[in-house]
Chains A and B, each alone.
Chain A
Amino acid sequence: MLIDSGSPGAVGTIGITLTINGERRELQVAPWTTLLDLLRERLDLTGTKKGCDHGQCGACTVLVNGTRINSCLTLAVMKDGAEITTVEGLAGLTQREGKNSLHPIQEAFVEHDAFQCGYCTPGQLCSSVGLMNEGYAKTRDEIREAMSGNICRCGAYTNIVDAIEEVMHQGDAR
């Protein structure tokens, strides 16, 4: 057995290691803590949003080892050893020398006016980077389909697809 929280009924916490936005963190977590709640409530990384908390809206999307997932449907303890990137860490993925810049997808969202209220935007951004890391979606139809896990109630979808398309064609996904 790799990990055992202890005897039945014990309210035990478990030690895990996560690398979050490039920073290695040793953490004690209760097993029922979702990755989303750990990020927001414990680590003050409130960029990642809690929308539905049931995997239906995509606002909580983060990258785990470069792959996009819903952090609300993930127990933090299960990601022991993983690298997590949240919206706060996207710029760090592409920091250019001597320039304090945003990630290209962030710049493209600004350029294309790809949001109104902004609540879904951190999830949309992380999902966009995940999509480009995957490398399967190429056409507008395919981008739309591959982004369907991120709901935008303001309806900025057209501009979101424009932003992703532009960055994808720059070949500057990371």
Chain B
Amino acid sequence: MAKKMLEGLKVADFTTVIAGPVITKPLAAYGATVLKIEGRNHLDLFRQGMVPPVGTDFPGPFNPWANRNPAGAFYNTGKLSISLNLAKAKGREIAKQFIMWADIVVENFAGGAMKRMGLGYEELKEIKPDLIMLSSCMQGQTGPHASHPGYGTQLVNLAGLSSIAGWPDREPAGIGPYTDYVAPRHSLVAILAALDYRRRTGKGQYIDMSQFESGLQLMAPLLLETATTGRVSEREGNYNPLAAPHGAYPCLPTRTDRYCVIAIYTDEEWKNFCYAMGNPEWTESPKFSTLQARRDNEEELDKLVEEWTIQFLPEDVVRRLREAEVWAGVLDNRDEWLNHQPQIKRQSPYTAPHGIYRCHPEYRWCAIAVTNDEEWQSFCRVIGDPAWTKESRFSTLHGRQENVEEMDRLIAEWTSSHTAEDVMAMMQAAGVAAGVLQTGEDLMEKDPQMAHRHFYWELQHPEIGRYRGVAPSFVFHEFPYELQRAPLMGEHNEYALKEFLGMSDEEIEELIREGVLE
């Protein structure tokens, strides 16, 4: 095999869980020597029994399976491991020697922990001026929240990412430790750029990575929106952006499950709606004169509309509104309406159809996104040009957006009689973006593109057995990488101490005796 890209690059890796190990994993794949410096004293969560090993029951509070956590094996492919007791001065001294050996130090303790161990950047810089060191923690190394520990699964709440994930009428959809896959990319770019800077100037660099601030880069357009307009955009799931008022409003008899559904799309409809309500004074307010204004003041608007609908039976509301040429419907159960709301609309105001459609069998889904009229024509041909596609309410983008619920229902009638794979293939053959909602099984066993890119690597682990790691997501056609299994805890104690620090057998034996090696 050709010489690997990063051969000769040395990394002292103090990281645990996901956000840290994911930084150094690609470096190992491209040939860097990455030494994971771990120990029982700062045991990686993924050396513990958070994830039960294959064929066992949940392992309980503390476990003997340091090497069998599949997540640990997944996030540490290609690294070496030394188990060092950092609670002992000697352990910290050896850690310092590995830092001297390394080009790059990466750690993700809670802010300030390295400093307390005498391994802070300022100290290390004195003895190794060209050191490149990255500290990644929740909220950065400075400021009042610096030392607050945490995990990405919780941080997504602070970083606003939860607030934009899910349905507006429910709690945020769980997005897992989302930031754990964002900060490592920023970290890697900074580390690799720092290597170039060091080559040119001889200077090192300290990179203070706040996973909070890194995650906010994704929120940038929305933060600018709030900074300039004051508006806060939150998760929109089923929400329809083109209508306000829009929703199910309670009717008589009170405290029953009887509702009417109202959707006001245009200013013309708004005027008609106001007329149907008898033009109450509040409808004159500039707060409600445009769609944007109505959306901005939606909460207030909904309350006022509700005060009106609650005085009538739903049938009466619908009759009055239809007379005024405003669309409305009767509902016997609020959940029924919420559950029949089709797909994800608000997310792309530029396109329709756009969403996730149920296929055959019913637990399979396919995403379809039509982005212009030409694609709409192609889409119609694929589904056999049914008569409804010719109706005026579906023939333009505006019409489709206005009648999106009905359209999505009609589309789902077609998709649900085909497999997700067939829907994707037929749409793609006609030039329409579509993608199967893939599971782990789809990606690992069936997706020909992932196989073509050799994304999953089959590895053999002495304790876990066969498992698969993932390659970096970019490919250099001329420069291969290689994935190797993750190390057992302390597997390379002797190797690293001898080869990297030049220690003798006697010295190593003493370290074992003193409990410095664990």
Are these two chains actual partners, yes or no? no
